[in-house]
């Protein structure tokens, strides 16, 4: 006897949720142009790394066509696994002691008024890479003495002696990013601490540096929390603050909690300036080094006004 089993049709799988689209104010053209291509070739030929590429910065086309870039030293593999960052995590390669000279060669060839240098975290090194930081700064001062230099450094695991090593090499602006408000800091930055980062900024300010930091918005912070951080930074004597929209680099990173409207960024800029912070870049596409190349004259003016010309690499412009 043949038993006929009922035909059961498989239920259709639910369609995947549509991917959240960026609002209009976050759309940028694909990078291209002669300036972009020339800079890309130069970076590759010298075997250097940039945070523009490694962190998938949306502004790379605009900046590179204006000959503005952020060199990333100490390799392109980070020892930390921050949940917002697209830089590769793993075991870094040994320190490249030829890198400082190559960085100086490239920056001198570009004939820049101002530049930004950053690095991966190197928790595998006894000094967190502070020694290479110092070598790089000394090499750049020698190769391009009229160029002002902003350093965007890691927290060196809170070792203020390593912070001093970088400061002693004379950066014109000392930057370290808080990234987010205290409540979210551990979730966003994992191996970092808000209080430790704040202590790094405080040390630099105590040493007389022009100090800069940045926050990402859209991670779930409340406006009152951002206001509180801004007030703390103003009390510290912060010189430059950047506020930008967090964008999720991949599905493995933290999702965007919300897109902050440009009007909110404008209001936060007014708040920060009113609190006493000297210069504020605030907008959806703002990143740590956004428009930094346009700040050279500001830096010179602030150094001169404070009577600190010579604190860092700053020299009177060549005649």
Question: Residues forming the annotated binding site?
Answer: 52, 57, 63, 78, 82, 85, 289
Whole-angstrom distance, CA of residue 6 vs CA of residue 4: 6
One DSSP character per residue, the chain reads: -PPPPPP-PPPPPPPPPPPPPPPGGG--PPP-SHHHHHHHHHHHHTT-EEHHHHTT-TTHHHHHHTT--EEEES-SEES---TT--SEES-PPPP-TTHHHHHHHHHHHHT-SEEEEEE---TTSTTTTHHHHHHHHHHHHHH-TT-EEEEE---GGG-HHHHHHHHHT--SEEE---BS-HHHHHHHHSS--HHHHHHHHHHHHHTT-EEEEEEEESSS--HHHHHHHHHHHHHHT--EEEEEE----STTSPPP--PPPHHHHHHHHHHHHHHT-SEEEESTT--TTTTGGGGHHHHHHHHHHTT-TTSSS--PPP-
Report CA 132 to chain centroid distance, whole Å.
Answer: 19
Q: What are phi and psi of 252, to 5 degrees?
A: -80, -10
Annotated binding site for [4Fe-4S] cluster: 52, 57, 63, 78, 82, 85, 289
The owner of tokens 């930055």 is 189
Q: What are phi and psi of 268, to 5 degrees?
A: -65, -35
């Amino acid at each position: 006897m043949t038993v006929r089993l009922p035909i059961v049709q498989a239920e259709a799988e639910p369609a995947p949720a549509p991917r959240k689209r960026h609002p209009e104010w976050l759309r940028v053209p694909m990078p291209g142009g002669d300036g972009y291509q020339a800079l890309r070739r130069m970076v590759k030929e010298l075997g250097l790394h940039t945070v523009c590429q490694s962190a998938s910065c949306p502004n790379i086309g605009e900046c590179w066509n204006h000959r503005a870039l952020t060199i990333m030293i100490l390799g392109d593999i980070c020892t930390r696994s921050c949940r917002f960052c697209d830089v590769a995590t793993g075991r870094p390669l040994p320190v490249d002691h030829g890198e400082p000279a190559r960085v100086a060669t490239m920056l001198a060839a570009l004939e820049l008024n101002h530049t930004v240098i950053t690095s991966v975290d190197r928790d595998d090194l006894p000094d967190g890479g502070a020694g290479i930081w110092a070598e790089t700064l000394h090499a750049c001062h020698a190769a391009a003495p009229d160029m002002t230099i902003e350093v965007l450094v890691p927290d060196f695991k809170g070792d203020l002696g390593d912070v001093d090593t970088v400061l002693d090499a004379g950066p014109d602006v000392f930057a370290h990013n808080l990234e987010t408000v205290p409540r979210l800091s551990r979730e966003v930055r994992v191996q970092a601490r808000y209080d430790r980062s704040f202590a790094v900024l405080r040390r630099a300010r105590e040493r007389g540096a022009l100090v800069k930091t940045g926050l990402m918005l859209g991670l779930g912070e409340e406006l009152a929390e951002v206001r509180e951080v801004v007030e703390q930074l103003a009390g510290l004597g912060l010189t430059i603050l950047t506020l930008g929209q967090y964008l999720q680099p991949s599905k493995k990173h933290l999702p965007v909690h919300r897109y902050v409207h440009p009007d909110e960024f404008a209001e936060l800029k007014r708040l920060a300036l009113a609190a006493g912070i000297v210069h504020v870049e605030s907008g959806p596409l703002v990143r740590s080094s956004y428009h930094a190349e346009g700040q050279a004259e500001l830096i010179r003016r602030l150094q001169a006004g404070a009577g600190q010309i010579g604190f860092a690499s700053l020299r009177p412009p060549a005649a």
